[in-house]
Structure 1
């Protein structure tokens, strides 16, 4: 950012009333500067290239390029542009996660919710500025840090570090956090590859468990390992994953 406290923002929304509402809400937020408003996907990409915003408030359902396609295009820019999706649809949450959106707001946008999302974006931009410059051929750093999931109130962001365990349910994965759980449309293999192996371990073809959620192991009558978990439940260890027991126990 050109100023340590100022966040330059571009709005991209094909609905004039929705764009106008965002403009009015931004006027109440300190430390932001609206640099422009785009009304379709192609103009959003062009304006981002010309104006170099720190953040784009991006609708999803737009003519031409949709918001997901715009976000993918912006992710290839240097410096990268942060994105907050502002949409009337909740079914794009997984796609938003895939393009590393900072937040996902449902219309009509609540002023306090928008302010919190912008503060998240401000932190995201600051952290991005502290990262070392990447050169061609570098691999993208980091592990999956968060997930979007639907619930009765709309959408909820789940931090990876808060997940106790993941279990498979057909084409979906259930994220267990305390006494609550959420379904996401993801594969077990993708989660195993994306979650930090220092924090999570796969114990079964249908289960991943946070390492510090495991309190012990025992064997059942057939000699199979059973993991005891911090909530009092048990997780059978698949035969293909029995070596994980020895690794965790340091044997």
Structure 2
């Protein structure tokens, strides 16, 4: 029997998820919580194997709660429940963390349960099973066993939580870029330019460049007024222009602070001149 705790500050959401879970054979809903403090107390007392955890509770972030439980050695398998948009959900996908997107659909929940069962069975067959007993506590006859989820690399698990938190709570004026399983937050002021490369868009800073899935049109909207479309293939940070070189047909070449040279097209030269008062 899989012991499950539901954590959501909205009663209708708890009722809905609880109802769906109780329809699945082998699931026991051992408790419900409406706040971060309540979650911590119930996990410590009920020892659930699985925690369905709303990412936003009134008094705490679900990520912070997961981190605190991990630090205490109370490690139920966490399934984050979120109503965030698709880009934020990518934070969970990238970090291989289970999640459910609201509103919850029966088919998606069933898939999650299958993954949970396989994970717990694998942990059990590997001998990763412990009773949650305090040395000084009196023995209780009906205290449940909890299959402990012990990550191979605890530091990596905490790093995953940090990256999810950053993705869901981005610092203003920073661009989110995913690369090699990590989410980087790049201050827009450090970006020199963006350019099309092999049907993708490369974002360039003085220290590094990143190949992204953004379009130049999307970046123009995201990065704001410091950036100007100077060419169909280039978006330039006007604050990072080191010099401007007059070129053929009354156009210009821009020398950026990394010494890279960017053309200003005839189509864009008028708006560029107006922007810089040339």
Q: Give the TM-score normalised by the residue count of structure 1.
A: 0.51
d(CA) in 1 for partners of 2:210, 2:2 = 43
Aligned to 1:44: 39
Aligned to 1:228: none
Partners of 1:68 and 1:99 within 8 A in 2: no
Among 8, 11, 36, the alignment partner of 2:6 is 11
Q: Does the alignment pair 1:83 with 2:45?
A: no
Q: Does the alignment pair 1:110 with 2:105?
A: yes
Aligned to 2:183: 185
Which structure shows the bigger proportion of residues in helix conformation? 2
Q: Does the alignment pair 1:63 with 2:63?
A: no
Q: Secondary structure of 2:60's match? A: coil
Q: Secondary structure of 1:114's match? A: helix
Corresponding pairs, count: 154
Aligned to 2:178: 173
1:93-127 C-alpha deviation (Å, 9 max, x unpaired)? 466468863x1111110011111101111222223
Q: Mark the runs of 5 or more structure 1 residues left unpaired by the alignment.
A: 1-5, 150-169, 176-182, 188-203, 208-251
Aligned to 2:193: none
Residues 59 and 174 (structure 1), Cα distance of their counterparts in 2 relative to 1, 3 Å cut? same
Alignment of 1:130-145 (within 5 A): 130=126, 140=154
Among 69, 73, 82, the alignment partner of 1:74 is 69
d(CA) in 1 for partners of 2:95, 2:46 = 21
Among 112, 116, 119, the alignment partner of 1:124 is 119
Partners of 2:5 and 2:29 within 8 A in 1: yes
CA RMSD of aligned residues (A): 3.9
Q: Mark the runs of 5 or more structure 2 residues left unpaired by the alignment.
A: 130-147, 165-174, 186-207, 212-278
Who wins on radius of gyration, i.e. which is larger? 2
